């Protein structure tokens, strides 16, 4: 039998035969490769679309009117070519609800004439798009409802006319796109250019007053309908004319005829709205 010391020597031999611990001085230094991550400064945008896209402009910087500018290093996507890109219009839909409501309130007070001044730096297309789209479907729906009530009152057959929607679509979208474009070219010809987007913005918000007017046209009184549409047309026409008067006056002696044409065209839109959507023929 081996003594306890024998066991101890065996244990010591086993321990001494194991791998010795490395000393701290023999450890190789650990090196880490440099990170390739890139840091970016914090953005100042709060809840709005941010990016390097600038509003579109035409070749002589009059596309936006006052305040419009583009990036100087834009070579391929500048001028009129930029108008045909989706990115060019993103900034015009980047607007708060409070701004849209404020501009709608401005359109209901046509004699103030401060709309162009307040929207010169940031005209939008968001409000005009939804105002025009809402008016298209409201006019078609209420026009059909008025026709239904009148024909049922006179015990006539009624069928829904789908052409009300398509005709409304062409009328309002066509008007709010083509009339400002024509005015833009006229003002440019008379050396009093205005921003095209500003004109689209102005005309788009001018249509808002027709939305409550169409609801009031449900009242089955012809004279009341003419009165409502007439007041709405007068307010809308005055809103555009007053806001454009100061700018168009720089066009020389012809400024009065331009303003008168703007006013009459807007009144004509109101008359067409009344005759096509809220005039019911019960004899057929």
Sequential DSSP letters for 77-119: S-GGGGGGSSGGGGGGG---HHHHHHHHHHHT-TTS--HHHHT
pLDDT of 280 reads 60
Residue 32: CB atoms within 10 Å: 5
Q: Which helix (H) or strand (E) holds 45?
A: none
Cα 85 to its chain centre, rounded Å, is: 15
Burial class of residue 111 in the structure, from the number of CB atoms within 10 Å of its CB (0-12 exposed, 13-18 middle, 19+ buried)? exposed
Identify whether the C-beta of residue 204 lies closer than 8 Å to the C-beta of residue 129: yes
Domain definitions of the chain by residue range: 97-106+115-277
Please, which pLDDT band fits residue 83 given cuts at 50, 70 and 90?
low
* pLDDT digits 0-9 by tens, 22-32: 554 555 555 54
The residue ranking higher by pLDDT, 268 or 63, is: 268
Q: How far apart are CA 256 and CA 235, in angstroms?
A: 19
């Amino acid at each position: 039998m081996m003594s306890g010391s024998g066991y101890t020597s065996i244990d010591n031999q086993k321990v001494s035969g194991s791998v010795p611990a490395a000393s701290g001085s023999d450890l190789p230094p650990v090196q880490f490769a440099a990170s390739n991550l890139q840091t970016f400064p914090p953005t100042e945008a709060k809840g709005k679309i941010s990016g390097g896209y600038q509003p579109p402009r035409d070749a002589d910087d009059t596309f936006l009117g006052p305040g419009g500018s583009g990036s100087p290093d834009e070579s391929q996507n500048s001028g009129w070519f930029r108008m045909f890109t989706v990115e060019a219009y993103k900034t015009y839909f980047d607007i708060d609800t409070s701004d849209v409501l404020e501009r709608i309130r401005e359109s209901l007070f046509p004699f103030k004439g401060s709309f162009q001044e307040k929207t010169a730096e940031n005209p939008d297309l968001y409000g005009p798009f939804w105002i025009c789209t809402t008016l298209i479907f409201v006019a078609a729906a209420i026009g059909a409802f008025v026709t239904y009530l009148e024909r049922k009152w006179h015990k006539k057959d009624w069928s829904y006319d789908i052409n009300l929607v398509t005709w409304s679509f062409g009328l309002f979208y066509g008007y709010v796109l083509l009339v400002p474009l024509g005015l833009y070219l006229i003002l440019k010809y008379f050396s009093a250019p205005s921003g095209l987007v500003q004109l689209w913005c102005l005309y788009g918000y001018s249509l808002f007053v027709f939305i409550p007017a169409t609801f009031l046209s449900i009242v089955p009184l012809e004279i009341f309908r003419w009165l409502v549409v007439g007041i709405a047309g007068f307010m809308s026409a005055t809103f555009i004319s007053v806001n454009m008067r100061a700018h168009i006056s720089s066009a020389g002696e012809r400024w009065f005829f331009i303003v008168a044409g703007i006013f009459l065209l807007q009144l004509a839109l109101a008359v067409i709205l009344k005759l096509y959507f809220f005039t019911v023929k019960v004899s057929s």
